[in-house]
Amino acid sequence: MAGPRYRIAVIPGDGIGQEVTPAALDVLGVVARRAGLTLETVEHPWGCDYYRETGRMMAPDALERLREADAIYLGAIGHPSVPDHVSVWELILPIRQRFEQYVNLRPMRLLPGVSCPLAGRGPADIDMVCVRENSEGEYAGVGGRVHRGTPHEVAEQTGVFTRAGIERVVRYAFRLAQSRPRRMLASATKSNALQHSMVLWDEVVEQLAPEYPDVAVRKYHVDALAARMVTHPQTLDVMVASNLFGDILTDLGAAVSGSLGVAPGANLNPERAHPSMFEPIHGSAPDIAGKGIANPVGAIWAGALMLDHLGHRDLHDRVVGAIEQVLSAAVVRTPDLGGTATTRDMMQAIVAAV
Ligand code: NAI
Ligand code: MG
């Protein structure tokens, strides 16, 4: 009997994206095969090399082609030869926006065996997950520049916050908090200084809170929340944040979890009207690209989140369990974790552990 089949659109992208993506697909392939699932991958060569050849980051019909997939897997995008606002605005943001991937889910956990840059902290202290708004806010792209190059040049970048947009992401965060043992939600705000957008944000959080009486919700100004992630990480569980705030808080979260290389992300369309996209949170790391030493854990963990989204929580747990086993054994580690292993060594150790 044939098991379920999933069509996965794969965009390895640039730099270490091309190194960690095959490692993640190897692990996923082994796990899927054993469970009787078929992951039918279709690879797309889009990214900065494609841009240099064609003047575009993706094929003209890319979004139509991606639409047919059950999920999208992305390595990383970005190369020093292409301005970052081009690579982000012509590839990642159109996918997130067109497919209404309004939740950017980013677990931030200190895994066993990984040394923490915060003194005296262990895995029990750092287990947070950020729900970042992913479709509007500060990254809505509204604004413009006038009087270019002149001394009175002006740039305006307008944040766009809608009640509906805030409500849907905050509801997702409340429900996620309900599913976790501590049932805590921290809302990142800045309503003291941003008296329009963030006051609306706070009002929506306050209005929804009574619908989730089992969740303890607290708001923090984002600067204070950043400090708290360093001084009292054990008091934080689920966080909900706007696009910009969540972007910054999750790099901090990845750093306190030991390395940017271990952190995964999921861009979710919770209604499943469109495909969701899974990626490590790190970028293309031009400083180490081509050396074969990138840590594939974030990419592999992102693949586990994809299996979870496809309905296979058990396989997610198996992959994350294998990652934990390899890291806690502390034998095979990439240089970002203080070892000398290659991307491939790490992948093979994780395959052996699943
Ligand atoms: P980055 O995440 O690529 O690298 C930051 C630092 O972390 C570097 O020192 C890098 O070597 C290290 N690092 C990152 N991932 C690692 C891994 N898996 N293993 C070991 N070390 C790792 O961020 P950066 O340098 O700011 O950006 C480089 C390029 O990536 C830029 O073009 C940027 O726009 C792009 N970028 C793309 C993202 C995406 O595709 N979603 C996200 C962030 C940045
Ligand atoms: Mg970021």
Contact criterion met (CB below 8 Å) for 272 and 162: no
- The first and second tokens of residue 20, run together, are 């960690």
- Model confidence band, residue 330 (pLDDT cutoffs 50, 70, 90): confident
Q: Supply the pLDDT for residue 312.
A: 97
Contact criterion met (CB below 8 Å) for 237 and 273: no
For residue 147, being part of any structural domain is answered with no
Residue 26 in 3-state DSSP? helix
* Range 46-67 average pLDDT: 96
Whether 274 shows a pLDDT value over 90: the answer reads yes
What whole-number percentage of the chain has pLDDT above 90?
96
Q: Which atom of ligand 1 is nearest to the CA of 16?
A: 18
**How far is the C-alpha of 178 from the C-alpha of 184, rounded, in Å?**
8
244: domain CATH number is: 3.40.718.10
Question: Whole-number mean pLDDT of the chain?
Answer: 96
Contact criterion met (CB below 8 Å) for 346 and 337: no
Whether 3 shows a pLDDT value over 90: the answer reads no
90 with 127, same domain: the answer is: no
Given the residues 190, 212, 237, 345, select the one marked as catalytic. Answer: 190
Whether 2 shows a pLDDT value over 80: the answer reads no
**Residue range(s) defining the domain that contains residue 60:** 1-105+261-354
Q: Which of 87, 132, 248, 284 to mutate to test the pocket of ligand 1 (most atoms within 8 A of CB)?
A: 284
235 with 173, same domain: the answer is: yes
**How far is the C-alpha of 201 from the C-alpha of 188, rounded, in Å?**
9
For residue 229, being part of any structural domain is answered with yes
For residue 332, being part of any structural domain is answered with yes
**How far is the C-alpha of 354 from the C-alpha of 352, rounded, in Å?**
6
pTM of the shown model: 0.94
Nearest protein Cα to ligand 1, atom 17: 261
- Model confidence band, residue 259 (pLDDT cutoffs 50, 70, 90): confident
Cβ 91 under 6 angstroms from ligand 1:
no
Domain end, chosen from 257, 274, 296, is at 257
- The first and second tokens of residue 40, run together, are 């039918």
Domain end, chosen from 257, 291, 311, is at 257
Q: Which residue carries 């950017």 as its tokens?
A: 104
Q: Is position 317 annotated as part of the catalytic site?
A: no
Give 92's DSSP letter. I
222 with 183, same domain: the answer is: yes
275 with 342, same domain: the answer is: yes
Whether 1 shows a pLDDT value over 60: the answer reads no
* Range 208-219 average pLDDT: 98
Whether 205 shows a pLDDT value over 60: the answer reads yes
Q: Which atom of ligand 1 is nearest to the CA of 287?
A: 11
Which tens digits make up the pLDDT trace of 170-190?
Answer: 999 999 999 999 999 999 999
16 with 71, same domain: the answer is: yes
- The first and second tokens of residue 200, run together, are 């609306």
Q: Supply the pLDDT for residue 126.
A: 96
Which tens digits make up the pLDDT trace of 120-162?
Answer: 999 999 999 999 999 999 999 999 999 999 999 999 999 999 9
120 with 220, same domain: the answer is: yes
For residue 88, being part of any structural domain is answered with yes
80 with 211, same domain: the answer is: no
For residue 152, being part of any structural domain is answered with no
Q: Supply the pLDDT for residue 120.
A: 92
Cβ 292 under 6 angstroms from ligand 1:
no
Give 90's DSSP letter. I
For residue 87, being part of any structural domain is answered with yes
Q: Which atom of ligand 1 is nearest to the CA of 87?
A: 34
* Range 234-260 average pLDDT: 95
For residue 167, being part of any structural domain is answered with yes
For residue 137, list its beta bridge partners.
Answer: 160
What are the distances in angstroms from CA 314 to CA 121, 138, 274, 318? 29, 36, 23, 6
206 with 288, same domain: the answer is: no
* Range 303-308 average pLDDT: 98
Domain end, chosen from 257, 290, 320, is at 257
- Domain count along the chain: 2
* Range 250-262 average pLDDT: 91
Q: Is position 223 annotated as part of the catalytic site?
A: yes
Whether 351 shows a pLDDT value over 80: the answer reads yes
87 with 218, same domain: the answer is: no
**How far is the C-alpha of 20 from the C-alpha of 77, rounded, in Å?**
12
Q: Count H helices, E strands: the chain?
A: 12, 12
Whether 96 shows a pLDDT value over 80: the answer reads yes
